[in-house]
Structure 1
Amino acid sequence: MAGIVYLCEKPSQARDIARILGATNKTKHYLSSSDVTVTWCFGHLLEMASPDRYGEEYKKWTLETLPIIPDQWRLDVRPKVKAQYKAITQLVDKAGHVVVSTDADREGETIAREILDCCRYQGQISRLWLSALDDASIRYALDNLKPGTETEPLYHAGLGRARADWLVGMNLTRAYTVVARTQGYDRLLPVGRVQTPTLRLVVDRDREIKSFKPVPYWDLVATLATDGGETFAAQWQPPADVADDKGRSLDERTARRMAQQIEDAATRITAAVTKRERVAPPLPYDLGTLQQDASKAADMGAQTVLDTVQSLYETHKAVTYPRTDCRYLPVSMFGEAATVLDAMHRTYPDADAAIAQADSQRRSRAWDDTKITAHHAIIPTTKHADLSRMSAAERRLYEMIRTRYLVQFYDDHKYDHIILSIDIAGATFRATGKAVVVDGWKAVAASNEANGEKINNARLPAVSEGDVCRVAGTEIQAKQTRPPAHYTEGSLIAAMKNVASMVSDDRLRKILKDTAGLGTEATRAGIIATLIDRGFLAKKKKKLVSSDAGRALISILPGAITNPATTAAWEQALDEISAGRITLDDFVARQANWVCQAVDQVQQRGLNVPKGVEPTAQKKCPKCGKPMRKRTGQHGSFWGCTGYPDCTTTAQIGSKQRRKNAAKG
């Protein structure tokens, strides 16, 4: 027996755990002591087998061989990691106890468990559930191993995700590509369970912007003066018959008549309301909100944020597990607050005043056991960080994370929201202002927003109901409605997270939870990067825009494939598997049935390539009349009929055409 084998996700993780366990004997494939072995993967060592591994007939892309629904799913060892896989299987064969020590999430569970399944391991399985990689956190996790049965549903969810991706990608990519070729569209039509609906979000937004027609409106602002000589601005509230649903005046002449009407008119304060507002500190970060804020504040791409915060977690041990979708903290961690604050204080040797003034006994709403998912929010660890070893991007993200934690120990921000209603010649005007009462947490992390509502920070004079003012001036401000903003990586991440809020279909809205989204915290950045790499999206400065190819793809594919709500419902089902409420077999059976219906539809009805999507093959077959497309053989390019193999007609490409092809590269 090899004693206890700890199976980690990557070498760096294995080294950290081995150091605490005293496994100092080093080999190429593992670290060990007399009774403990720590080995590692390189992410997924196994990958889903390609369709041709299920039969020779699947080597060619034809509609007749679809759908491909495996009876027994196959995994292949990735070629570059065969030596490491072999070493792990030899260790597992001799082990009586394996501790799954991969990242504490769905994919981490799958990386380890799929190896154990392939090895047909029958021994004891425990789970090392790490929330951070500093020494104290590792020791705590080692002393509190979970039984393997507790986290096994995560593995089933991981298998469900992989199999759903395979079924959709392999079958529908083939189906739509093959049919599109018969209509002269000679391009790969990649269909992804998450990538395709994500692309549609951007395409729909770009179309909305392109078709947007600005509507002019006019604001009338009056400058009012009190008897004491103080002035303030008030805005006209136009009546419904000349305003849109947002209260904006759509008639310039009416606004200008009103401006003339109120000159030297009697003015009276009809209501003066002061509301004391309090704003709690913003919750600590999950990965998605960190990506959104870093996109706004530092123009950092989503993948860059993920890679950077992963380095803060793995290399610097400065923050807790980053691939989390939770913004709350367990109550049990409140007792560590003073230690974390002290570590932060030591990180800043010039004695950061904001940390020194924090009240470690103040418990904010962030500590709430009922809101904890598989992980808690991203916060600093109890290990003080060495800023000199961090890159500029790492320091920036660490500062953001530590500030979000720090504000939990400050009072609420309090201010008076003042609303004045003014009657001027029978018309209603309104003035708003803000008077800060207690800075609270905003002394540490300033913001001009309160509960999502932007408040005018202008100070208003001390006036009361019934007071009289005079009109000191008027201004007509000509404005236009604006189109929605282009997506950025940050705002697209937010849209992917909150697809449920964008669903118009009543039936789907009832099915989806408020938190239903596309992908997971760990995968969204990679999905966006893949769409950019494939040329379906482009990044122009901070904006994400769809390419011609991206818009064409969404135009060709039916709505059932591109609908973000469909994929969000699937992702929600994966969460149900993780929670043990539905089975893997049921989920995969439903996915297979859906794919069969989608393939049957394209087989029966073909594909509608809409106008504006240019086919790549313009030449028609002289024998059967079907489009011909360019192919490449041993002797160069030639025209081949898209009716192949029923029609085998070919034609040479002339020298003029070859020169054009060469010029295009």
Structure 2
Amino acid sequence: MTVRLILAEKPSVAKNIADALNIKTKKDGYFEGMNYCITWAFGHLVELYDAKDYDGKMRHWKMDYFPFIPAAFKYKVKSNPRNRAKTDGGAAKQLKIIQSLMRRSDVEAIISACDDDREGQLIADSIIYRGGTKPKANVYRLLLNEWTEKEVLRGLENLQSNASMQPLRDAGISRQWADWVIGINLTSVATLKYQQGKSGALNIGRVLLPTLKIIYDRDQEIENFKPEDYFKLAATFQTVNNHEYEGIYRENKTEKFKKKELLEPINEAIADKPAIITDKQVEKKKEFPPFLFNLSNLQGYITNKYKGWTSDKVLKTAQSLYEKKWITYPRTSSMALEESLVGKTAHVLKVHSEDLPYKEEVHFSKTKRVFNNAKVESHSAIIPTYLKPKRLTADEGIVYTAIKNRFIMQFMPVAEYEETKLITKVLDTDLPGRFHSKGKVQLVEGWKKVENIQSKDAFLPSVNKEERVQIIGSDVTSHVTKPPKHHTERTLLRVMETCGKDYQEDENEELLGSILNGFSIGTAATRAETIKKLKDIGYITTDKKYLLCTELGKRLVDTFPVKNLFDLAFTGRLEKALSDIEKGKASKQAFLRLVFQFTTESVATIKQDQDVVIHQAASKRATNEVLGTCPQCGGKVKDGYKAFSCSNWKKGCNFAIWKNDKYLAAMRKKPTKTMVKTLLKEKKAFVKGLTSKNGKKFNAYLSYEKNEEKDYYSWKMEFLK
């Protein structure tokens, strides 16, 4: 009897597949039953060599060693995230399990079930073809947009040859190698050239710098903005029925006047004067719902509406919902659905509308706004699946409700409103201008009912053309032109997504669908990570929901000589080239030649640049002070250069509390010697002044405990009772 081996990207996805196939038997690292073995990765199990792995001399950076471009790129088991000098034990173990399953004599087919994108393709292929060996079994690809039982079973009946995924794999490899070459070379050379002190590095990246430049440019625009005064004349009119409305004086198509003196005589002249409505225009207009969410729009919507949310948090929450089978694939750039999904979508709508108080208004229809193959790039927009979640965390509830509501809106009546424009002429004067008024009346609430969206527009009383009215008040109001606002994650994501293409922030989202596909800064999947990294490395900071350049970020933009890396069009062309490789329209070799040449020239440019200091790194001295006893081996824990770590590390003890610990950094804290001493002695330490995601300060007990299953230490938090 033969079996089929399925490789999933994560344990949770493997469990979803096992559930769909009704497989209950779980072994060490895989499920087995019903003629299937289902195993999993933990995302990437292998990673590219570090420069020092190719050549020992690269352990120490010297200008003469760069540019460094390997003749052949090699992979190793991924490093331990807490100690990069060591291999990740869990990854190494799982890789052995997968390889032993692949070698089994009864395995007649290997099915790659990693995410249907270039990163998922790379994860699976780097494991299946590890070391350049072709497995004896045929390799197939399971391409799914959700992990529900029906979709898993349907997908297993419609497998594709993994060989047909070569363009996707080439795009994944091209992205990975390009970012390695640019990142390793330019970060190293820039740090040597422009940084004083040996702490950390001056991070340079293909997507990092143009994103920084977007924020820098907006900051400069605000800094250089010169406010100007202007004035308006507003009059209040009263109808014969004692209803009131306001009009703004307009002359020669302008209502903003630079000099107050121009309006004051007019204001005096119209006091208590009668007036007449010389024109009335009434127009019925339709308001369509916003398009279905893609990832960037979902991130923008949530981060703008809810305090304390970041794009990275939205992505992680959406990914959790996806892996729990409640939404479709979230890392998409599309705002429409494939036309083949009509029947399935109708079923999903029926499931989610059956309990709605306005269910009679929900009607399924196949429209181009929702179903449009021309607007789908790789993956359809994000929608709920036919499964209703029984329990959601608070964060999951926010993201899930937004996705579900946006989906239901598409099948509600179009909202309709009546827009009225009035022109009022003041009598008994010879004014060249007229007073203009505008108001709206909502006629059909339609899709706005889903989230109870209220109109903020002014209402006008019921009046007719040639009707007489009376001025009962007027005022010259002073105003000041305002600078643009600092970028938020929402506006930054939009600029990254459109590669800086001009748009108005309130412009119809249809613009996005018309932009050249693939021409962007990063991808839907990577933009959140880029914004997070800019914060983590200190190039940008946040002020409430706004993003601002730090002094370090400004100096980098002002000084770093490789200006192409700040150019949105240049980075957009690189991303477009990757998109073309994915579609089989461009070659991996040509793209990599371009990147290698660019890197070589950029290294030369930096070497020849003037000597300036962009970053004065704080010196981190290792005191080697003994802080306590190692809880793992009984050795001495000392204050080292990068970590408070066990002195028996050469004998294999990996206990360490890193000075740049990410868990603590997320709460704006760094481990101190006092904290470490207390942890080692008391097993937990009371830490004051931690900062929540909402920016609030709090205190808590922290302990640093070993996870026996995965062989690493992690933080645990307790609050005062």
Normalising by structure 1, what TM-score? Answer: 0.83
* Greater mean deviation of Cα atoms: 11-20 or 483-492: 483-492
Seen in structure 2, the aligned counterparts of structure 1 residues 186 and 339 have a Cα distance that, compared at 3 Å, is closer
Q: Which whole-Å CA distance do the structure 1 matches of 2:397 and 2:460 have between them?
A: 37
Corresponding position of 1:308: 317
Tell me the SS of whatever aligns to 1:376: coil
Q: Which whole-Å CA distance do the structure 2 matches of 1:142 and 1:614 have between them?
A: 54
8 Å CA contact retained: 2:20, 2:148: no
In structure 2, runs of 5+ residues without a counterpart are 79-86, 504-514, 626-638, 641-672, 674-721
Q: 1:90 aligns with which of 100, 110, 114?
A: 100
Matched, 1:544 2:547: yes
Corresponding position of 1:571: 575
Corresponding position of 1:525: 528
8 Å CA contact retained: 2:518, 2:579: no
Residue 111 (structure 1) shift:
0.4
Matched, 1:295 2:308: no
Q: Which whole-Å CA distance do the structure 1 matches of 2:117 and 2:311 have between them?
A: 19
Matched, 1:212 2:214: no
Corresponding position of 1:231: 244
Seen in structure 2, the aligned counterparts of structure 1 residues 288 and 616 have a Cα distance that, compared at 3 Å, is closer
Matched, 1:138 2:147: no
Q: Which whole-Å CA distance do the structure 1 matches of 2:101 and 2:27 have between them?
A: 13
Tell me the SS of whatever aligns to 1:472: strand
The aligned amino acid for 1:307 is K
Q: Which whole-Å CA distance do the structure 2 matches of 1:403 and 1:284 have between them?
A: 10
Corresponding position of 1:411: 413
Q: Which whole-Å CA distance do the structure 2 matches of 1:160 and 1:422 have between them?
A: 64
Alignment of 1:435-454 (within 5 A): 435-447=441-453
Matched, 1:339 2:347: yes
Residue 332 (structure 1) shift:
2.7
Corresponding position of 1:25: 25
Seen in structure 2, the aligned counterparts of structure 1 residues 357 and 413 have a Cα distance that, compared at 3 Å, is closer
Q: Which whole-Å CA distance do the structure 2 matches of 1:560 and 1:362 have between them?
A: 44
Corresponding position of 1:174: 188
Residue 404 (structure 1) shift:
0.9
The aligned amino acid for 1:526 is E
Q: 2:399 aligns with which of 392, 397, 400?
A: 397
Alignment of 1:2-401 (within 5 A): 3-33=3-33, 35-78=35-78, 79-80=87-88, 81-94=91-104, 95-119=107-131, 120-122=133-135, 123-181=137-195, 188-239=201-252, 248-265=256-273, 267-299=275-307, 300-315=309-324, 317-345=325-353, 351-361=355-365, 363=367, 365-386=369-390, 389-401=391-403
* Superposition misfits of 4+ residues, deviation over 6 angstroms: 183-187, 629-637
8 Å CA contact retained: 2:420, 2:438: yes
Tell me the SS of whatever aligns to 1:82: helix
Q: How many residues are matched?
A: 597
Corresponding position of 2:498: 498
Q: Which whole-Å CA distance do the structure 2 matches of 1:161 and 1:448 have between them?
A: 45
The aligned amino acid for 2:96 is K
8 Å CA contact retained: 2:228, 2:481: yes
Residue 208 (structure 1) shift:
2.4
Q: Which whole-Å CA distance do the structure 1 matches of 2:272 and 2:313 have between them?
A: 59
Q: Deviations over 1:281-338 (max 9, x none)?
A: 22211111111111122222111111112222212x2211111111111233222344
* Greater mean deviation of Cα atoms: 337-346 or 537-546: 337-346
* Greater mean deviation of Cα atoms: 37-46 or 353-362: 353-362
Seen in structure 2, the aligned counterparts of structure 1 residues 282 and 226 have a Cα distance that, compared at 3 Å, is same
Q: CA RMSD in A?
A: 2.8
8 Å CA contact retained: 1:23, 1:38: no
Seen in structure 2, the aligned counterparts of structure 1 residues 364 and 578 have a Cα distance that, compared at 3 Å, is closer
8 Å CA contact retained: 1:344, 1:355: no
The aligned amino acid for 2:321 is L
Q: Identity of paired residues, percent?
A: 29
* Greater mean deviation of Cα atoms: 370-379 or 421-430: 421-430
Residue 136 (structure 1) shift:
1.5
Residue 353 (structure 1) shift:
0.8
Normalising by structure 2, what TM-score? Answer: 0.77
8 Å CA contact retained: 1:498, 1:515: no
8 Å CA contact retained: 2:236, 2:471: yes
Q: Which whole-Å CA distance do the structure 1 matches of 2:63 and 2:402 have between them?
A: 52
Corresponding position of 1:647: none
Residue 254 (structure 1) shift:
1.4
Q: Which whole-Å CA distance do the structure 1 matches of 2:24 and 2:224 have between them?
A: 65
Q: Which whole-Å CA distance do the structure 2 matches of 1:29 and 1:137 have between them?
A: 24
Residue 203 (structure 1) shift:
2.2
The aligned amino acid for 2:99 is T
Corresponding position of 1:644: none
